[in-house]
Amino acid sequence: MKPQIAIVGCGRVGTALAVWLHRAGYPVCGLSSRRLQSAEAVAALIGPRPCSQAPQTVTAEADVVFITTPDGVIETVCRQIAAAGGFRAGSVVLHCSGALPSTILAPARQSGAWIGSLHPLQSFAAPPLDRNPFAGIIVSVEGDGPALQTAEALAADLNAHPQQILTEAKALYHAAAVVASNYLVTLLDLAFTLLQQAGVAPRDAHGVLRPLIDGTLANVARIGPAAALTGPVARGDAETVVGHLEAIGAKNPESLALYRALGMATVDVAERGGHLDAAQTEHLRRLMEP
Ligand SMILES: NC(=O)c1ccc[n+]([C@@H]2O[C@H](COP(=O)([O-])OP(=O)(O)OC[C@H]3O[C@@H](n4cnc5c(N)ncnc54)[C@H](OP(=O)(O)O)[C@@H]3O)[C@@H](O)[C@H]2O)c1
């Protein structure tokens, strides 16, 4: 018999967990959210369930409670549920934050529950109905022993790969995920803007860049970032960099600081990859200075 799951916070991750744990055979025994309609929207996806704005009414009977609110309120919500007697002794309480330790769930532990965190290394942007967003991804887990075991079993049943992480390493691990996912989006946004200013229609921007992006990712996967670096910085081509700085300065001066900051970091990568001699490195660093 699989453990009964309650979800508190029916946003992107809470919805994905409810839908895919339900499909994996877990009984989802209750849903709670700040707005009742968010909990009811999830119930509409998995079938009628108790829905409430008072989380303790759906968590009290659960074997596993997920608190999938925004990071900033996980601790407060946990404390409120504990104060209302909403955690059963021996149950497991998990949050999904990549950055925060499981210890922010201490009020649940004081109620006799085991606490842990289960962080899916995935970007949950849209309702996850057609494709399992957990399939094949890494889910980092940490916490009390029994919570860890439960989190690993849940991750495996979601077709993800559970991986234990040190509680104190979570912030750096999460920073890596933010750089790889969120900052990549920001980089592509800048690239799309520059393309548009070069006369490419916005609807074509993605198609124009896609083969370049795919090829770059494949090269990094095959030979690592330092060896995969190509382009003017890797070639020590300062004149081209000067041309970029002039063009961006004329059309898009607010982006110069980002171009230069990334350029400076790229000079470091090029140096590490043995692409540049000392004079080229020095010249490029001067160009990239803020
Ligand atoms: N999104 C991702 O890609 C991603 C990836 C990995 C991990 N995570 C983690 O997953 C967790 C949830 O993130 P998310 O992206 O799913 O956030 P989200 O889409 O903003 O959803 C959070 C939900 O929490 C509800 N909520 C807010 N305050 C609440 C409260 N006081 N009590 C009860 N419910 C409350 C909101 O409710 P209403 O809708 O009812 O207003 C909202 O639906 C976070 O810890 C985040 O770090 C997110």
**How does pLDDT run across 192-201, given as a tens digit for each residue?**
999 999 999 9
pLDDT tens-digit series, residues 253-275: 999 999 999 999 999 999 999 99
Same domain membership, residue 264 and residue 221: yes
Q: What is the mean pLDDT of the chain?
A: 96
Residues 54 and 149 in one domain: yes
Give the three-state DSSP class for 5: strand
Residues 137 and 236 in one domain: no
The Cβ-side half-sphere exposure at 285, using a 13 Å CA radius, reads 11
Q: Are residues 138 and 185 in the same domain?
A: no
Q: How far is CA 135 from CA 4, 121, 176, 181, 182, in A?
A: 21, 11, 21, 17, 20
154 and 18 fall within a common domain:
yes
**Across residues 9-35, what is the average pLDDT?**
97
Cross-strand partners of 28: 5
Pairing, β 161-164 against β 5-8: unpaired
Residue in 150, 141, 154 with CA at minimum distance from that of residue 16: 154
From edge to edge, which strands make up the β-sheet containing 5-8?
Answer: 51-52, 28-32, 5-8, 64-67, 92-95, 114-120, 138-143, 161-164
Please tell me the distance between residue 96's alpha carbon and the centre of ligand 1 in angstroms: 9
* DSSP secondary structure string for all residues of 216-261: HHHHHHHH-HHHH--SHHHHT-HHHHHHHHHHHHHH-GGGHHHHHH
Burial class (CB in 10 A: 0-12, 13-18, 19+), 173: middle
> Which atom of ligand 1 lies nearest, measured to the CA of 55?
33
Q: Is 12 in the pocket of ligand 1 (CB under 6 A)?
A: yes
Nearest-atom number in ligand 1 for the CA of 53 is 33
CATH number of the domain within which 159 lies: 3.40.50.720
90 and 11 in a single domain? The answer is yes
Tokens of 33: 């959210």
Report whether residue 68 contacts ligand 1, using a CB cutoff of 6 Å.
yes
Give the separation between CA 286 and CA 203, rounded to whole angstroms.
Answer: 36
| Positive/negative CA dihedral, 140, 144, 145, 151 | negative
Domain count, the chain: 2
Instruction: Out of 165, 197, 231, pick the residue that ends a domain.
Output: 165
79 lines ligand 1 (CB under 6 A): no
Domain check: are 62 and 137 in the same one?
A: yes
What is the pLDDT at residue 130? 85
| Pair of tokens at residue 71 | 């990071």
The pLDDT value recorded for residue 127 is 67
For residue 278, CA distances in Å to 228, 275, 281 come to 20, 10, 5
Residue located nearest, by CA, to atom 47 of ligand 1: 97
Q: Closest ligand 1 atom to the C-alpha of 36?
A: 40
Task: Read off the CATH number of the domain in which 258 is found.
Answer: 1.10.1040
Determine the structural domain holding residue 260 and report its residue range.
Answer: 172-288
83 and 118, same domain (yes or no): yes
- What pLDDT shows up at residue 26? 98
**Last residue within a domain, chosen from 165, 184, 203:** 165
| Residue 129: per-residue pLDDT | 74
Looking at the structure, tell me whether residues 191 and 96 fall in a common domain: no
pLDDT above 90 covers what percent of the chain?
A: 97
128 pLDDT higher than 70: no
